[in-house]
Structure 1
Amino acid sequence: MNRTASDRGRDRDEEGRARSARPRDGLGRPLPYGAEGVPRQPEGVVRGPDETLREAQRLLDAGMPFHAHEVFEDAWKSGPESERDLWQGLAQLAVGLTHAARGNAAGGARLLRRGAERLAGGPGSVSAAAAYGIDAAGLVAWARELAGRAEGAPTGAAGEPAVVDAATEAPRLRGDLS
Structure 2
Amino acid sequence: MDTAPRTTGELVYRDATAADTEALVALIESAYRGDSSRQGWTTEADILEGQRTDPRGVLEVIESPVSRLLAVERDGGLIACCQLEHRGEAAYFGMFAVLPGAQGTGLGRRIIAEAERLARRDWGVREMHMTVITVREELIAWYERRGYRRTGKLQPFPYGDERFGIPQRDDLAFELLVKPLV
Q: Shorter-chain TM-score category?
A: 0.3 to 0.5
Q: Which has the larger radius of gyration?
A: 1
Greater share of residues in helix: 1
Greater share of residues in strand: 2
